[in-house]
Amino acid sequence: FQLNQDKTNFTTLRNIQGIHAPLKLQMEFRAVKQVQRLPFLHSSNVALDTLRGNDECIGFEDILNDPSQSEVMGEPHMMMEYKLGLL
């Protein structure tokens, strides 16, 4: 759903403002997606939600996606060594 909504928004933006507007927005999306926390910490992706306009919406994942119950939590040292290729 989000992909189709992004395509529609990019097409509308291109028709209204020209080719530069969706290209700039896509570059901002890529830059924001590259910024992450350490692998053992939950990332809320606030910047990406703000760019998409979802920062004021309450969805399913906001209520039932409790980071303290996430399966990602593990031993921080082991996860960092795995990410750096030391293991």
Q: Per-residue pLDDT tens for 26-80?
A: 999 999 988 877 777 777 788 888 988 888 888 777 777 766 666 666 788 888 8
Place of tokens 């703000």: 50
The pLDDT value recorded for residue 24 is: 93
Q: Which helix (H) or strand (E) holds 32?
A: helix 20-34
pTM of the model: 0.62
The pLDDT value recorded for residue 55 is: 85
Contact 13, 22 (CB under 8 A): yes
**16 pLDDT exceeds 90?**
yes
